[in-house]
C-alpha cells in the first residue's frame, strides 16, 4: 500500500498544490487532501489554534485536524523565501511548529525549509530532502521536481487566462482538453468589472470568503484578481512608489496588483478582502487605500472576514456596493 501524505487544502494549497501533487505522484506517494472548507473544519481550527492567530491560520489548523488521522505524514514545508526579495509572513515560517506543538496526535510533519536566498539550487535540494523521507533517490526526486515545475507553469498560465484555482486544478487533472471546460474571462463580458484584491487563500476559499466570487458573478459583475495578471506586469510596478517593497510575499503581490488594476485594469470598482487578525494586512490595507484616493473615480471598499462572517451581512454589503457602482456608472453615461 502506498504511503499517504496529507496536504491541508488551505494557505499555500491554492498556489502550489498542482506542483506538490505532481511531485509526490512521480515519487510514488499518495496525496490526501482535506477538501473544501466546511463549518465543522473551521470550528475545529478555531478550537485548537491560538486565540490571536489570523483566520486563515485557524482554518489551516482545522484542515490539519480533518486529515491527520488518515495519513502517514503531513506535508507542511517551512516556506521562507521563493524569489530572493520578499519573505513569507512569519505565520508561514512557524506553521509546522504551531501544528506540531498545538495539535494532538499529529503524524510526522515534513517541514523542509525552502529559502532561495541560501546556497545553490536550494529548491531542488529541498525537494530532494522531501523525497528522502520516502526513499526516493536524488535523481528521481530531481526528475519529479522538473516535471512538477512544468505542471506549475501550466497551472499559472491557466490562472492568467482567468480560470480560478479550482477550475485550473480540475483542468490539469483532466488533460483531455477537448472536453467541455469552463470559459475563462466569460464573466468579464459583463458591463461591470471589479478587482478583488487579497490573499489567494482568502479569495478562493469559498467558505471563508463567503463565496464572494460567486456572489459577484450572480450580481452580474466580472472579476479580476492578482492571479489573472502576468507576473511581468506586476514586476513593472516595482516598489509601488514606496522607498522599498513590502517585505511579505503575498502583501507585495497584492499591492502591486492594486497599483496595476487601479491604473490599467479598467475596473469599475475595487474590493480588498482582508482577514481579521492579519498583521501584514493592517499595513497593506492602508497602502491600497492611499492608492485608491489617487483614483477617486474608482469606488473602493474593504471587506473584513473573520470566523463569524455571515452570508447575509456580506451579501448586503456587496449588493449595496454593486448597486452604488452601477448607478454611478449609468449616471456618468447619461451625462455624456
Ligand atoms: S499574511 Fe496575514 S492572513 Fe496570511 S498568514 Fe500572515 S497573518 Fe495570516
Cell of 304: 473584513
Whether 14 lines ligand 1, by a CB cut-off of 6 Å, is no
| Architecture per CATH, 185-335 | 3-Layer(aba) Sandwich (3.40)
Whether 54 lines ligand 1, by a CB cut-off of 6 Å, is yes
Tens-place pLDDT, residues 224-245: 999 999 999 999 999 999 999 9
Burial class (CB in 10 A: 0-12, 13-18, 19+), 211: middle
Residue 201 Cα distances to 6, 150, 168, 274, angstroms:
18, 22, 15, 11
Confidence of residue 71 (pLDDT cuts 50, 70, 90): very high
Kindly give the number of the ligand 1 atom that is closest to the alpha carbon of 199: 4
Give residue 217 CA to ligand 1 midpoint distance, Å.
26
What is the per-residue pLDDT for 307? 83
Give residue 88 CA to ligand 1 midpoint distance, Å.
9
Tens-place pLDDT, residues 266-281: 899 999 999 999 999 9
Give residue 135 CA to ligand 1 midpoint distance, Å.
34
Residue 78, beta-bridge partner list: 113
Tens-place pLDDT, residues 161-210: 999 999 999 999 987 655 555 555 555 556 899 999 999 999 999 999 99
What is the per-residue pLDDT for 311? 78
Kindly give the number of the ligand 1 atom that is closest to the alpha carbon of 248: 1
Residue 227's contacts (CB-CB under 8 Å, 6 or more residues apart) are 159, 160, 165, 200
Whether 57 lines ligand 1, by a CB cut-off of 6 Å, is yes
Q: Give domain limits for the chain.
A: 4-169, 185-335
Tens-place pLDDT, residues 285-307: 999 999 999 999 999 999 999 88
How many Cα atoms sit within 13 Å of 261 on the Cβ side? Answer: 31
What is the per-residue pLDDT for 190? 67
46-50, 59-63, 253-257: lowest mean pLDDT where?
Answer: 46-50
Confidence of residue 257 (pLDDT cuts 50, 70, 90): very high
Tens-place pLDDT, residues 83-142: 999 999 999 999 999 999 999 999 999 999 999 999 999 999 999 999 999 999 999 999
Amino acid at each position: 500500500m502506498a504511503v499517504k501524505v496529507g496536504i491541508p487544502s488551505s494557505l499555500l494549497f491554492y498556489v502550489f498544490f498542482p506542483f506538490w501533487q505532481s511531485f509526490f505522484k512521480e515519487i510514488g506517494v499518495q496525496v490526501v487532501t482535506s477538501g473544501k472548507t466546511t463549518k465543522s473544519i473551521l470550528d475545529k481550527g478555531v478550537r485548537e489554534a491560538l486565540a490571536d492567530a489570523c483566520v486563515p491560520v485557524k482554518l489551516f489548523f482545522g484542515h490539519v485536524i480533518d486529515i491527520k488521522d488518515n495519513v502517514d505524514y503531513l506535508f507542511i514545508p517551512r516556506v521562507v523565501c521563493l524569489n530572493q526579495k520578499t519573505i513569507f509572513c512569519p505565520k508561514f515560517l512557524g506553521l509546522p511548529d504551531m501544528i506540531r506543538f498545538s495539535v494532538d496526535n499529529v503524524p510526522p510533519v515534513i517541514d523542509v525549509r525552502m529559502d532561495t536566498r541560501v546556497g545553490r539550487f536550494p529548491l531542488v535540494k529541498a525537494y530532494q530532502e522531501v523525497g528522502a523521507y520516502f526513499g526516493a533517490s536524488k535523481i528521481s526526486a530531481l526528475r519529479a521536481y522538473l516535471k512538477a515545475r512544468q505542471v506549475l507553469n501550466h497551472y499559472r498560465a491557466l490562472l492568467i487566462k482567468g480560470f480560478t484555482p479550482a477550475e485550473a486544478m480540475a483542468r490539469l487533472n483532466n488533460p483531455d482538453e477537448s472536453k467541455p471546460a469552463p470559459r475563462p474571462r466569460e464573466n468579464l463580458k459583463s458591463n461591470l468589472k471589479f478587482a478583488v484584491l487579497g490573499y489567494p487563500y482568502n479569495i478562493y476559499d469559498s467558505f471563508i470568503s463567503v463565496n464572494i466570487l460567486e456572489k459577484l458573478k450572480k450580481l452580474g459583475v466580472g472579476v479580476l484578481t492578482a492571479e489573472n495578471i502576468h507576473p511581468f506586469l506586476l514586476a513593472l510596478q516595482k516598489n509601488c512608489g514606496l522607498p522599498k517593497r513590502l517585505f511579505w510575499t503575498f502583501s507585495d503581490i497584492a499591492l502591486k496588483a492594486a497599483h496595476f488594476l487601479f491604473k490599467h485594469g479598467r475596473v469599475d470598482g475595487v474590493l480588498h478582502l482582508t482577514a481579521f487578525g492579519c498583521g501584514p494586512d493592517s499595513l497593506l490595507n492602508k497602502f491600497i487605500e492611499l492608492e485608491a484616493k489617487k483614483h477617486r473615480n474608482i469606488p473602493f471598499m474593504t471587506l473584513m472576514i473573520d470566523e463569524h462572517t455571515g452570508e447575509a451581512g456580506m451579501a448586503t454589503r456587496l449588493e449595496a456596493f454593486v448597486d452604488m457602482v452601477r448607478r454611478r456608472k449609468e449616471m456618468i453615461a447619461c451625462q455624456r
